[in-house]
Amino acid sequence: MMITDVVHSYKNYVKKIMDFNEAIALAEWDMRTGAPRKGIAQRSEVVGTLSDEVFKRSTSDEMKGYIDALTNPSVQEQLSSVTKRMVEESQKTYDRFIHIPSEEYKAYVILQSEAQSVWKEAKEKSDFSLLQPYLEKMVSFKRKFIEYRGINHNQYDALLDLYEPGLTAETIDHVFGKLRSRLIPLVKEVIASKNQPDSSFLTTSFPIENQRALCLHLLKEIGYDFDAGRLDETEHPFEITLNPGDVRVTTNYQEHDFISTVLGTVHEGGHALYEQHISRDLVGTPLCEGTSMGIHESQSLFFENFIGRSKAFWSHHYSELKRYGSGQFDGVSLDDFYRAINTAHPSFIRTHADELTYPLHIMVRYDIEKALFNGDLQVRDLPGIWNEKMKEYLGIVPASDREGVLQDIHWPGGDFGYFPSYALGYVYAAQFKHAMMKDIPDFDNQVSSGNLHIVTDWLSRHIHQFGRLKKPLEILREATGEGPNPDYLIQYLSAKYKDIYQL
């Protein structure tokens, strides 16, 4: 068989795997946005069956044959860059799963769905004990899957590699250590400042229907394509991609905390813009998605913080906000509004955290995950160590599991190793902004004029279009000229909050 025929056959084989993944994504979106609770168990079985098919195809003898044929050095010279990266991703998946028994992987996928459903009940009742046995099984599965790959030490690095290829705990320790050493003192200065912004008008009633209309408007303003997506309501906001032509976002409307709703929606919109702008040439391949969770978070946090919390953005949209509001902004100047939405103080809920304290929330989770997979911590200890870390980094202690260890869905979903991506994404976003300013020196003027397409075009050229064709550190270095560097985020936060709090 000629090599062109092998490549064609391989791509068709991979396309079927991607079709299964799209069906799984649709089922998961439905479960998280309104599927009847009594149907969750059966739907979980369906997702398990589809995932089992993906697993079997990804680790089949046929896949192994394609990998062996297309990794031959003489053949590699004839392959396009896209095909080479496809094969590289296929081999990585094959190596990750080949030693896992099929029935165990299916059981794990079913556990994921069940655990996320139980998490909702545990959170409602603020009772960690309901979720504990599911998390214990989840951690056990994770450990076994890592050991099947022959990894008996540095298990947490193996988890990180799933979300941040090329990064290790050693690198993250350095980045987070530098951030923490600067942020904790700055947070204390902010708390002690006598120039606290008045944010009382942010908690007055903002009709839900008006919030929905405002969120739809702002998503359109940042460039979200509603012909390729939709906005729904869920307990925990998220973005999910079926394909670049169907990228969905959700939000959580809160009558007395509209700014969290708005910024959360813009955050998910940033994720969606990334996925909607991936090159259509990559559709049907494993490269048609964000290159890492950290790069993905850089896009959502860029739009949430560097756009959505900026004075330039609201100078263009403040009159529109007043139109949707119920009079609470009458007599409130743009400067006062800007200071209000950027107030900083320690809080319990990560998704509602201000941009100054947000990285510390991530460090709490990162420290816990490392200890859990290094054998220094048991699942039953999570509520206690959570509260200890919150006290150490943020100076506050949750009064309940609901506002503490149960607030996030990531661990019930099996996403251990994911949390560092949030803070890394913030670091990357600051680096991208610094690099972007060289090409768009009048950045604030463009944003205040409503010309966000100039910003989005820059991001698409340097990041979005490539999907997974380029690796995360490759994209970071090509766009910014360096690896992970927290200095730009430290400079941004220091300058901004010293100005707001007149330090």
The residue to which tokens 């998605």 are assigned = 289
**How many whole angstroms separate alpha carbon 343 and alpha carbon 353?**
10
Residue 121, CA distances (Å) to 67, 212, 404 in order: 44, 26, 15
Neighbour-count burial of 192, counting CB atoms closer than 10 A to its CB (0-12 exposed, 13-18 middle, 19+ buried): exposed
Torsion of CA 61, 43, 349, 417, to 10 degrees: -10
Residue 200, CA distances (Å) to 130, 261, 305, 336, 363 in order: 37, 16, 21, 11, 29
**How many whole angstroms separate alpha carbon 488 and alpha carbon 173?**
17
State yes or no: is 268 an active-site residue.
yes
Sign of CA dihedral 440, 444, 450, 455: positive
Do the Cβ atoms of 271 and 228 come closer than 8 Å?
no
Catalytic residue among 268, 297, 355, 369: 268
Write phi, then psi, for 381 (nearest 5 degrees). -85, -5
Q: Which amino acid is at 87?
A: V
The separation between CA 49 and the C-alpha centre of its own chain, rounded to angstroms, equals: 26
The separation between CA 346 and the C-alpha centre of its own chain, rounded to angstroms, equals: 22
Query: Six-digit token pair at 188?
Result: 């204390």
Active site residues: 268
